């Protein structure tokens, strides 16, 4: 009877969440909180304890996520306004040339989306795609799909983008491992979903770019030195990975003082603070920005970050209710009893929520909340937890369609019909998700 009640409580919470988002059109933040309270009430948790549990889940999650997302957002905003993001794309185009422009586009998307939000990076780089179509006379999709794939892969798999940061924190995965596994999975995934599918769909559907001259593409803004841009992006990633490899023993360090120094500098908080300081000076003051302008850029960047932070916190509350009611443990025992792999469950639940309600962030956070109780106290290694994060991220990327804002953004900027958007963007996100899950499954079960 208890198991049936807990299952009914989980089902009630998910149904309420989906109804509030889909029918009522409520923001995901209060919807997730209401769903958490519904689960607690349906499971028989004391009313006062439910609020305490929600508060604990919010606090535990936001202590880490709010700091990392906030610092990452400010860093990305300075990179964007300094022209650094466009400089990366221009540099890669110069190195690869027009003939290999799809490769340049996928690498541009892959790199720029590390510090810059998906939609912002897409809007920044889409003029280059327009220019390539005009210059070559080939379908816009030949260049746009690789760019979109690179952006989507990094946005889903590689911190400090918000999705993997939130999932990693909720399930307790180390960010260094997530970055490493994210790169390993992301590169072949971008090749398959971006380059190979882009070449195929570019031959099937011809799309012409809107009128846009090359002069409009290359703005008169001075682009910072590209070596400086790459170095600043690499600094936080290098420091976080160095700390992870040192803690795991992959890089032996004999001195405790060096170990402590690496632990401090390699913590995501410190690593991103250093990146912000470097960007503030090298991409800001050195590029002619005033301190007031940099302050305004940083302040404005917090608006989109606020929504993501609150949704992530509510996801943490949802997870905590599942743990405190015992619902998560019950699911874990049931899955273990039938031999159902956690990695597959993580992918499927994330994919299901994504397809039903559209938002990849909500899908990933909801799935992480359901998966976290299953792995608590099970002794999963840092490598295994990182693989689970990528499995969730893969599921949360699948089949973008009409209930996803990304679908309509691609539809409008590329000038596609709805049918063409389904055949290109929706299929690409599905290939991306399945390839990502396939690659991470090989890593998880073979290594």
Structure tokens at 122: 């897409």
Predicted confidence at residue 1, as pLDDT, reads 45
Predicted confidence at residue 209, as pLDDT, reads 86
Residue-wise pLDDT tens digits, 192-215: 999 999 999 999 999 998 764 444
pLDDT band at 250 (very low <50, low <70, confident <90, very high): confident
Range with lowest mean pLDDT among 186-200, 208-222, 344-358: 208-222
Residue 428 or residue 43, greater confidence: 428
Predicted confidence at residue 394, as pLDDT, reads 98
Range with lowest mean pLDDT among 169-173, 191-195, 376-380: 376-380
Q: How many other C-beta atoms are found inside a 10 Å radius of the C-beta of residue 210?
A: 13
Structure tokens at 293: 């302008």
> Of 339, 355, 444, 336, whose CA–CA distance to 395 is shortest?
355
**Helical segments of 137-206, H only:** 141-157, 162-171, 175-190, 197-204
| Mean pLDDT score across all residues of the chain | 89
> Of 152, 210, 110, whose CA–CA distance to 360 is shortest?
152
pLDDT band at 438 (very low <50, low <70, confident <90, very high): very high
What is the number of residues in the chain? 447
N- to C-terminal Cα separation, the chain = 40
Q: What is the mean predicted confidence (pLDDT) over 364-383?
A: 88
> Of 424, 415, 417, 411, whose CA–CA distance to 209 is shortest?
415
Predicted confidence at residue 216, as pLDDT, reads 43
Residue-wise pLDDT tens digits, 8-49: 888 898 899 889 987 888 888 899 899 999 999 998 888 889
Q: What is the mean predicted confidence (pLDDT) over 153-169?
A: 92
Predicted confidence at residue 84, as pLDDT, reads 87
Structure tokens at 290: 């005033």
Residue-wise pLDDT tens digits, 90-113: 898 889 988 899 999 999 999 999
pTM: 0.85
Predicted confidence at residue 392, as pLDDT, reads 97
Instruction: Evaluate if residue 167 carries a pLDDT over 80.
Output: yes
Q: How far apart are CA 442 and CA 447, in angstroms?
A: 8
Contact 13, 35 (CB under 8 A): yes
Contact 28, 166 (CB under 8 A): no
Q: Measure the CA dihedral 271/276/281/284, to 10°.
A: 150
- Cα dist from 49 to 8, 57, 73, 92, 325, whole Å: 20, 12, 34, 55, 10
Predicted confidence at residue 278, as pLDDT, reads 96
Structure tokens at 171: 């399930």
Structure tokens at 405: 């804002």
Residue-wise pLDDT tens digits, 284-314: 999 999 999 999 999 988 887 788 888 888 8
Q: What is the mean predicted confidence (pLDDT) over 369-393?
A: 91
Predicted confidence at residue 28, as pLDDT, reads 85
pLDDT band at 397 (very low <50, low <70, confident <90, very high): very high
What phi, psi does 331 have (nearest 5°)? -65, -40
Predicted confidence at residue 335, as pLDDT, reads 67
Cis bond before residue 318 (omega within 30° of 0): no
Q: How far apart are CA 62 and CA 319, in angstroms?
A: 13
């Amino acid at each position: 009877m208890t198991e049936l009640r807990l299952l009914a409580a989980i089902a009630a919470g998910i149904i309420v969440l989906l109804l509030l988002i889909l029918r009522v059109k409520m923001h995901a933040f209060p919807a997730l909180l209401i769903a958490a309270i519904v689960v607690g009430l349906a499971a028989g948790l004391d009313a006062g304890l439910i609020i305490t549990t929600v508060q604990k889940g919010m606090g535990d999650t936001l202590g880490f996520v709010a700091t990392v997302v906030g610092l990452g957002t400010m860093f990305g905003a300075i990179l964007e306004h300094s022209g650094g993001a466009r400089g990366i794309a221009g540099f890669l185009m110069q190195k690869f040339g027009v003939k290999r422009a799809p490769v340049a586009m996928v690498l541009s998307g892959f790199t720029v989306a590390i510090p810059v939000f998906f939609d912002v990076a897409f809007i920044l780089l889409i003029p280059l795609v327009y220019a390539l179509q005009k210059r070559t006379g080939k379908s816009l999709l030949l260049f746009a799909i690789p760019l979109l794939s690179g952006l989507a892969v990094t946005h889903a798999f590689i911190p400090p983008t918000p999705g993997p940061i939130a999932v990693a924190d909720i399930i307790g995965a180390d960010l260094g491992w997530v970055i490493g596994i994210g790169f390993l999975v992301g590169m072949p995934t971008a090749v398959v979903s971006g380059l190979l599918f882009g070449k195929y769909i570019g031959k099937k559907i011809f799309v012409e770019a809107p009128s846009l001259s090359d002069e409009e593409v290359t703005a008169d803004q001075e682009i910072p030195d590209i070596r400086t841009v790459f170095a600043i992006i690499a600094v936080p990633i290098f420091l976080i990975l160095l700390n992870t490899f040192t803690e795991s023993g992959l890089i032996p360090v004999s001195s405790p003082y060096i170990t402590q120094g690496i632990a401090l500098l390699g913590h995501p908080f410190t690593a991103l603070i250093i990146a912000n300081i470097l960007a503030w000076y090298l991409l800001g003051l050195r590029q002619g920005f005033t301190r007031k302008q940099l302050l305004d850029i940083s302040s404005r960047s917090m608006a989109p970050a606020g929504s993501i932070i609150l949704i992530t916190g509510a996801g943490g509350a949802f997870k905590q209710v599942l743990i405190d009611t015992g619902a998560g443990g019950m699911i874990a025992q049931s899955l273990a009893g039938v031999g159902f792999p956690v990695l597959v469950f993580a992918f499927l639940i994330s994919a299901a929520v994504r397809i039903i309600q559209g938002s990849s962030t909500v899908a990933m956070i909801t799935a992480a909340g359901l998966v976290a109780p299953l792995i608590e106290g099970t002794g999963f290694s840092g490598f295994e937890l990182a693989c689970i994060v990528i499995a969730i991220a893969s599921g949360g990327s699948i089949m973008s369609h009409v209930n996803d804002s990304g679908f309509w953004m691609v539809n409008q900027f590329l000038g596609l019909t709805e049918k063409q958007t389904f055949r290109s963007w929706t299929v690409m996100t599905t290939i991306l998700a399945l390839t990502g899950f396939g690659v991470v499954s090989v890593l998880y079960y073979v290594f």
